[in-house]
Structure 1
Amino acid sequence: MKTSPLLGFGFWVSVVGVMFSPRGFWGRHKRKILIGLGVVGGGYAIYRLWDSHQRNMLELDRQKEREKQEEELMKIQLKNHFESIQRISDTTTLPYAMHELRARILERLDLSELRDRLMQGKGQPGVLSPQERIELWGRLKILSFTRTVAALWAVTILSLYVRIQVNVLGRHLYLDIARTAEEQDNSDSLSSHGREEFLATADYLCTHGINMLLVNMQSAAMEVLKEKQLKDTFSIDQLRETITQILDLFMKSEGSTYWVSYLVPEDVSTYRKIMASSSSSYELTNLMDTSKLEELMSETRTILLRPDFGKVMNIAMEKAVELLIDEMSPEVSGTAPLALAKLLPRVSQMSIPLLAEPENNELISTLRRIPEIEVFYTLVYADLTLES
């Protein structure tokens, strides 16, 4: 029996239809299609993730660049502010304070009258009684040491104090600039007039604190020198020991921390009243906010009372005594031991270079080069404490 040609043709048509029909194609290639779509979809997703990551990285880089620029700008502003403070301190605050300190010490402890009376008594017998001569020489002995040791202590502590002021103010400026940048606030709690007023508190020692300082220094000198006679010979070591004893006793007078009151006023109100009454140039306009000035003064007082500052002050005082003794060594150690009476003119004369202007003051220059003191200033600026 033969098959009809039409039947054979229909068979192949049906086969081809099955092969190329959508359902047939999907059935045969479903897995491949799904895998292909998955690959394409995954690739697209990866591309989107990569593109998003690149955009985020680009934005992050831009943000970092903006932050870097803002940080650089803040550093420049801080540097300018700090240099301005340092310039005011070096050219105005310390020179003015030193000028006033020199005037007050030399005025309060003027030895010329004592010397003139002793010279008059020497040239004109009978002008002075033996008792008067003894009393005059005794006063000259006490006041000669008082003047020089007071000058040594005051210049040393004033130099340290002014540098502490600069670093305290510099740190507050940094915080103020950072706050202003963060809050976009243009207010300035540390205006130029305010900064100058805080730095000017260094004048308190010269205008007010110096009075009690000299009284207590004279008491210490009297106690240490009461057993030392004018005819006693002095070696350089004895001179160093005597000066050190006077300093130690002075620091303990009125209590171990009383000396801070020579430098820092009790409060802002009292300080402003004292300055207004003692200085015609003190202006009550354009002053710093009272609470801010109180904060700065309180912080400075706290630093002066810290144990690590006590160590720094001891280092500075030892260096000051060493410098003073080195200056006097050629005259004392290079000859036969001198009687105390012959040593007194040189002792009192040593107060003059100690009270010289800052640019010509060897003591101030020496203190600025002591590594331990420089480290302490850095810690003050960073608001840290020197470990023992």
Structure 2
Amino acid sequence: MLSVRDFWRRHRRKLFVTVGVLGSGYVLYKLYHAHQQRLSDLEREIEGERATDELIKAQLQAHFENIQRIADSTTLPYSIHYLQSRISEELDLSHLTARLSQGKGQPNTLTSLEKLQLWEKLKILSFTRMISSLWAMTMLSLYIRVQVNILGRHLYIDTARGLEGSHLLEQSDPFDRQSQQEFLATADYLSSYGMITLISDMQMAVSEVLKGKQLRDLFNTSLLHETIVLILDTFMSLGGPNHWVMYLMPENAIAYKYQMATSSSALLPDVTKLDQLMVETRSVLLSDDFRNVVNISLRTVVDALMDDFALQSGGNPSIGTPLAKLLPRVAQMGPFLLEEPGGNKFIQIIRRLPEVELFYTLLYANMPPPEMSQEADRSFN
């Protein structure tokens, strides 16, 4: 008993230090273990979030690509076909060519003044037909893609919220289904309601630019390119900035409802959702970023069109052709520009432009596009 007491007195300090060290080590070990456990849990949580993010990104990408296919394979072909028939109907040149052919075969049927007047009309209407086709094809393909990306984004969000809105026009409630149908139907607004004003304004721009051009003047590819760009510049500057939006879509859902009612004798029961979609679409069309996309697309189509003209001229862009002989080729370019989208190289060129792809990717993601090159502003403003 004494030995234990002696031992305690002699080693008490050492024992306290040892117990303290062991206790501290145990506490540190528990803290370290808890920290490692939290790190492990955090890593598993981050990995789970990463996997979820990757899944969402994959779903978004698949849905985005599907939306683009809808535009290319369903909406655009019908609208382009309707557009082609409307332009052919409103800008039919057969009566002018028939009268000129008749005057050539029967010289006494037309006076020199009448022949000159017919040629002048043919000159103006040939360029009007070609450039109206070029502008309308470009704008319609861009507009429809704006539509389907805005609608696709809404439907994807509805799906993510569990509202079963992913099946276009199938599983949504009757009001939404009708709004979606009416919204997609505005793709034909240009052909149905905007065409007359478009052609009238385009003819005004063509007349302004060609008023000093004589039928005997020689046109090479460079001069033709310059003339088309000048006509587009003049046309796009008519009526103030962004006036051309009125050709593509109605001012609002109420205005569209009224126009539809006058032609079908039926009123929409409600326009709330339709108005929301149209407000978003108009906002996109009025944006500087969309204007840049329009300018880049129009300029690229003009360049591609001139490449075709150069090939038809034997590949030498400096070879000049009298304007009178050039007019039939100019008139024929209208139907060529409005071919079915699957075989329309101009639509494919627009679709593959990097600036266009980026714009619609960001539009679908509902993100503001980055500032684009200001080079696009040098024409078509």
TM-score bucket (shorter structure): 0.7 to 0.9
> CA–CA distance in 1 between the matches of 2:271 and 2:29?
62
Unpaired runs of at least 5, structure 1: 1-16
AA partner of residue 243 (structure 1): I
Shift of 1:217: 0.4
Render the CA deviation track for 1:250-289: whole Å, top value 9, x for unaligned. Answer: 1111212101222232112323444566689x9969xxx9
Bigger Rg, which one: 1
AA partner of residue 240 (structure 1): H
- Contact 1:257–1:305 (Cα < 8 Å) also in 2: yes
Selected match of 2:85 from 78, 99, 103: 103
Does 2:280 match 1:305?
no
- Contact 2:130–2:333 (Cα < 8 Å) also in 1: yes
Selected match of 2:190 from 187, 193, 205: 205
AA partner of residue 94 (structure 1): L
Q: How many residues align?
A: 360
> CA–CA distance in 2 between the matches of 1:366 and 1:145?
22
Q: TM-score, normalised by structure 1?
A: 0.81
- Contact 1:93–1:200 (Cα < 8 Å) also in 2: no
> CA–CA distance in 2 between the matches of 1:384 and 1:140?
43
Does 2:53 match 1:71?
yes
Q: Give SS of 1:192's match.
A: coil
Does 2:4 match 1:20?
yes
Q: CA RMSD in A?
A: 3.1
Q: Give SS of 1:106's match.
A: helix
Shift of 1:196: 6.2
> CA–CA distance in 2 between the matches of 1:290 and 1:70?
36
Shift of 1:145: 0.5
Distance 1:279 1:230, change over 3 A: farther
Identify the residue that residue 350 of structure 2 maps to in structure 1.
Answer: 367
Selected match of 2:303 from 322, 343, 349: 322
Render the CA deviation track for 1:201-260: whole Å, top value 9, x for unaligned. Answer: 332222222221111001111222223232333333332222222111111112121012
Distance 1:170 1:29, change over 3 A: farther
Shift of 1:108: 0.7
Selected match of 1:34 from 16, 19, 26: 16
- Contact 2:93–2:125 (Cα < 8 Å) also in 1: yes
Identify the residue that residue 340 of structure 2 maps to in structure 1.
Answer: 357
- Contact 1:89–1:199 (Cα < 8 Å) also in 2: no
> CA–CA distance in 2 between the matches of 1:330 and 1:106?
26
Mapping for residues 259-274 of structure 1, pairs under 5 Å: 259-274=244-259
Shift of 1:173: 5.8
> CA–CA distance in 2 between the matches of 1:384 and 1:243?
29
Q: Which is further off, 121-130 or 44-53?
A: 121-130
Q: TM-score, normalised by structure 2?
A: 0.82
Unpaired runs of at least 5, structure 2: 170-175, 375-381
Identify the residue that residue 294 of structure 1 maps to in structure 2.
Answer: 275
Identity of aligned residues (%): 49
AA partner of residue 99 (structure 1): H
Mapping for residues 5-154 of structure 1, pairs under 5 Å: 17-21=1-5, 24-154=6-136
